[in-house]
Amino acid sequence: MSSELTLELSSKSFDGYQYVYSHDSFTVDCTMKFGVYVPTIADNECVPLLIFLSDLTSNEQNFITQTGVQRLASKYGFIVANPDTSPRGCNIEGDRDQRDFGEGAGYYIDATEDKWSNNYQMFSYVNDEFYELIIRNFNVDISRIGIFGHSMGGHGALISFFKCPGQYKSVSAFAPICSALKCEWSRNAFTKFLGQDETLWKEYDACELVSLYHGPMPYAPVLIDLGSNDQYKDDYLFPDKLLEACCNASFPIQLRQQIGYEHGYFFVMTFLEDHFKYHKNEFEHLK
C-alpha cells in the first residue's frame, strides 16, 4: 500500500475487508476520505472495480454503512470504492450554510468562480485523481471499471460516463438528478460554482451530454432505477427529460419505476444487487 494513503478503518466483512482511507488531495487541496471494499480474491488477481458516487449531504460513510454493499462486493468479487461528495474543512465562507450547496454537495463538477475554484474540483478529483489512486493502490482490472451513484451521485456517474468516453465500461444510477439545468438544487450550486453563463452549466448536464457522446455504447440499456413514491422525481430529478434526450440521441436506457419506493437508502439497498448484475453483464460483453 502506498504511503500516500492513511488507514482510518479496517473491518472484516464477508469474504474481504471494508477500509476507509484518507489522503491529501492535490486536486481539491484538502484531506479527503474514501471507502473501499476489497474482496479476498483481489489478493491474488485483478478484479473489476465499481466506483459509487453518493447523494447530497453524504460523506464516505453513508454508502458503506447503510446499503450492505459488502455482501454483494464479496459475492461478485468486485472492489467497490466510494469517494466523499465534496472537499471538507476548507473554511470558505458560505460552504456550510445550505444542505444543497458546499460541504456534502459538490455536484461532481469543477468550479470556475474564483471563490470556489481552488477546492471544488470534484469532477477532476473523481475522474482523474481518485480514479488513478484506486488503480495504483488496489488490484484492479483496468479493462473492467464501472461507475454508478445515487441522486446527486447518479448525476455525477452519468456525466462522468459521458464526459470520459471509454474510461468507464458501464454506468447505472439510482434516482439521479437527470437535468441539472432544471433542478433547483443544482441551479443554485451552478450559479455559485460556475457563474451566470448557462452554456458552462451544459457541460455538466446529462441530458445535454448524451447528445454529444461518441464513445463505446453499452451492451444493454443503461439501468436507471427510480421509486414511484420518490418525493423529488417531478420537481428535482426530471427522469422524463433524460428519457427524451437518450431517445433523441439513440442512446439505450432502461428507466425502471419501482412501485412504492421512495428516494433514500432503503430504496438503494433493495435494488443494489440488480445494479451489480448489470455491471457484471456489461463486463462480460466487453468488445
pLDDT tens sequence across 134-143: 999 999 999 9
Please, which residues have CB within 8 angstroms of residue 48's CB and are 6 or more apart in sequence? Answer: 76, 77, 78, 79, 140, 141, 144, 145, 146, 279, 280, 283
Answer yes or no: 151 catalytic. yes
Q: What is the mean pLDDT of residues 12-25?
A: 98
pLDDT, residue 3, reads 59
Task: Place 262 in a pLDDT band, splitting at 50, 70 and 90.
Answer: very high
pLDDT of 103 strictly over 70: yes
Distance of CA 207 to the CA centre of its chain: 17
Is 6-281 a domain of CATH 3.40.50.1820?
Answer: yes
Q: What is the pLDDT of residue 1?
A: 53
What pLDDT is stored for residue 186 in this prediction? 96
Return the percentage of the chain with pLDDT > 90, whole number.
95
Angle between helices 152-163 and 184-194 (to 10 degrees): 60
From 151, 160, 170, 172, the catalytic residue: 151
Portion of the chain with pLDDT greater than 70, in percent: 99
CB within 8 Å of 191: residues ≥ 6 apart:
none
Question: pLDDT by residue (tens digit) across 151-194?
Answer: 999 999 999 999 999 999 999 999 999 999 999 999 999 999 99
Q: Are 50 and 146 in contact (CB under 8 A)?
A: yes
pTM: 0.97
* Range 100-113 average pLDDT: 95
Which has more pLDDT, 38 or 97?
38
Q: Which of 74, 230, 275, 279 is catalytic?
A: 230
Q: Give pLDDT, residue 28.
A: 98
230 is catalytic: yes
Q: Mean pLDDT over all residues of the chain?
A: 96
Residue 114 annotated to the active site: no
Residue 286: per-residue pLDDT: 80
Choosing from 150, 155, 263, 275, the catalytic residue is 263
Q: Are 130 and 22 in contact (CB under 8 A)?
A: no
Between the CA atoms of 184, 261, 174 and 64, what dihedral angle is there, to the nearest 10 degrees?
110
User: pLDDT tens digits for 231-260?
Assistant: 999 999 999 999 999 999 999 999 999 999
198: pLDDT strictly greater than 90: yes
